[in-house]
Every structure is written in C-alpha cells, then in structure tokens.
Amino acid sequence: MQVSAKMVNELRQQTGAGIMDCKRALQETEGDVPKAVTFLREKGMASAGKKAGRIAAEGTVESYIHMGGKIGVLLEVNCETDFVARGDDFKGFCREIAMQIAATNPTYLHQEDVPEKTLSEERQIYRRQAEESGKPENFWDKIAEGRIKKYFAEVCLMDQPYVREQKMSVEKLRQELVSKIGENVNVRRFARFELGEGIEKKKDDLAAEVAAALKQSAS
C-alpha cells in the first residue's frame, strides 16, 4: 500500500525510530500503526520509543558563529525538563547540531518537510537519468528511489551523515542522546545565515571549510 509522509511522521513520534524503518514497518503491516509500533519494537528499532511520545517543551536556542562571523546558525532543540537542558550532554548535542548545520547547509529538517512538488520534480529527473543510463526498464524506479534517498541525506538535516562520524546519521545521534539521558529530545527548527548570501560576489566554499575544520578537530 501507499505509505504517506503523515503516517510515517506519526509512527516516528510514537517510536523514535528512523524514517525508513517506520516506512518499512507501515508497509509490512499494511498501514496499521499499532501493529507497526509492535513490529519496530520486535526488531529492536524503537529503543527510544518509550520516550518519543512525551512532550518536550523545555530546551534551548543554541547559537553558533563560524569563520570570523561569516556563518551563523540559530537552532531550537527541545527536551522535557530544565534540568536536562542545563546538562553537558544536552548542551554538547545542541552545539554539535549547530556546527553540523553550519557545515552542511541543510534545506529541511525532516523528509516530510520536502514539498511534494519538489520531490516529484527530483523523482522525474532521477528517473530520466535512469532511462538514459542504459539499464533495463524494470530497474528505473529502483534507481530513482535510491537517488531520492541520497537526496534526502543531502538536504534533510536529520538524514544527513553526522559530520564527525559519517557512518552515523544525525537522527541516530539524537536517538543515542535520548537513550542516554532518559528524556525525549526534538530538534525543532533552525536558521542558517551566510555573510553576503544572495549578493553577487566571488564564490567561497565556506561550508566546505567548516566541514573540514570539524573533521580535523575530530581526528
């Protein structure tokens, strides 16, 4: 059956599992959300799920300035209690996510935030590329969907590979924090500013410099 972004988001909120895991669970259970929750728990994909449904209204607005004032980020991250918001683990997570945004310049927070029109256009482009690749027709849709997944990992913050550990996604980093502190944590919104953005000037790849600096500090 067709699984909608709304269904996936609902399951994510209940379980804290990854988007692709939620989508698979809904497909396996024919869209039955309670059964999908059980499916994820049985597969060990909902380790943070017991906390995901709890309200997170505390937290902080983190700020990060890089490159001598050339890139700035504002980020809201929520947790359940002010006690956790003041803790080093939560503060460290917020700092890391702000630096991630500075380095990678994501456009959206989650997959479901990508406008359907934009997603449809991307899908059409990838399908045409698949058609022109010389691959058999029965592979075209699969190739297009694979490229859509890579697109999400580029433009959606929570799907991006964590800059300091490329094998881990930002969403996985969030889940690890939830498991560690015992509270629900949500990255709610962000804004990124780059000096001179939108003004014609010599092109400097500031984001690449930020990413390189973060990787170097991690080594």
Distance of alpha carbon 141 from alpha carbon 136, whole angstroms:
10
Cβ-contact 183, 80 below 8 angstroms: yes
Distance of alpha carbon 26 from alpha carbon 4, whole angstroms:
10
The number of C-alpha atoms within 13 Å of 6 and in the hemisphere containing its C-beta is 0
Its pTM surpasses 0.85: no
16: left (phi over 0), alpha (psi -120 to 50) or beta: left
Counting every residue written for the chain, the total comes to 219
Average the pLDDT over each of 38-42, 72-76, 197-201 and give the range with the smallest value. Answer: 197-201
pLDDT level of residue 198 (50, 70, 90 thresholds): confident
Cβ-contact 187, 175 below 8 angstroms: no
Residue 188 has a pLDDT of 93
Residue 185 has a pLDDT of 92
Top pLDDT among 39 and 55 is at 39
Distance of alpha carbon 164 from alpha carbon 100, whole angstroms:
9
Residue 211 has a pLDDT of 73
58-111+156-218 is classed in which CATH architecture? Answer: 2-Layer Sandwich (3.30)
Average pLDDT, the chain: 84
The sign one gets for the Cα dihedral 201, 206, 207, 208 is: positive
Homologous superfamily in CATH for domain 5-52: Ubiquitin-associated (UBA) domain (1.10.8.10)
Mean pLDDT across 150-158: 94
pLDDT level of residue 148 (50, 70, 90 thresholds): confident
170 CB-contact burial (10 Å; exposed 0-12 / middle 13-18 / buried 19+):
buried
Residue 35 has a pLDDT of 85
Question: For 71-112, what is each residue's pLDDT tens digit?
Answer: 999 999 999 999 999 999 999 999 999 999 999 999 999 988
Distance of alpha carbon 148 from alpha carbon 155, whole angstroms:
11
Residue 62 has a pLDDT of 96
Distance of alpha carbon 23 from alpha carbon 2, whole angstroms:
10
Distance of alpha carbon 109 from alpha carbon 156, whole angstroms:
5
Indicate the angle between helix axes 170-181 and 88-104, nearest 10 degrees.
Answer: 170
Residue 151 has pLDDT above 80, yes or no: yes
Residue 186 has pLDDT above 70, yes or no: yes
5-52 and 115-153 share one fold: no
pLDDT level of residue 44 (50, 70, 90 thresholds): low
Domains of the chain: which residue ranges?
5-52, 58-111+156-218, 115-153
CATH class of 115-153: mainly alpha
CA angle 7-33-147, nearest 5°? 45
Residue 78 has a pLDDT of 94
Top pLDDT among 42 and 203 is at 42
